[in-house]
Amino acid sequence: QVQLVESGGGLVQPGGSLRLSCAASTSIFSIDNMGWYRQAPGKQRELVAAITDYGSTNYADSVKGRFTISRDNALNTGYLQMNGLKPEDTAVYYCHVVVRLTSRSTVDSWGQGTRVTVSS
């Protein structure tokens, strides 16, 4: 079991930057994969960026070149650096992790969400 606490959202102007943080509770269990999703008004939740335990990353086409996902395993914290923000990025952003309980089983956990609003 892992509890996720997100922070870093807010109101920014187009072209601005934000860094989202996702802090996981201390646990003896390891985190395999971490990702950031977002859900805009009237739309379904979509994957923004993901990072594996090996450090491999992938991004939605809409954010490539602007967003960077990273993780600090020592701090059990993930980050999403968002640069060049656009109004289309306005959404509630959710952290998601896949936690390994045993060699054969995993569970996933979601953060509470942090709101990002990009507007002039």
Q: Which residue has the higher pLDDT, 59 or 25?
A: 59
Per-residue pLDDT of 27-67, as tens digits, reads 667 788 999 999 999 999 999 999 998 899 999 999 999 99
Q: Which residue has the higher pLDDT, 110 or 101?
A: 110
Structure tokens given for 11? 């109101």
Average pLDDT over all residues of the chain: 93
> What is the Cα–Cα distance from 68 to 66, expressed in whole angstroms?
7
pLDDT of residue 6: 96
Tell me which DSSP letter residue 102 carries. S
Q: Given a cut of 70, is residue 26 above it in pLDDT?
A: no
CA distance 3 to 111: 7
User: Can you give the pLDDT at residue 27?
Assistant: 64
User: Pairing state of beta strands 106-110 and 114-118?
Assistant: unpaired
Cα–Cα distance for residue pair 45/102, rounded to 1 Å: 29
Beta-carbon contacts of 57 under 8 Å, excluding residues fewer than 6 positions away, are: 49, 50, 51, 69
Q: How much is the pLDDT for 103? A: 86
Residue 53's pLDDT is 87
The answer to whether residue 107 scores a pLDDT higher than 80 is: yes
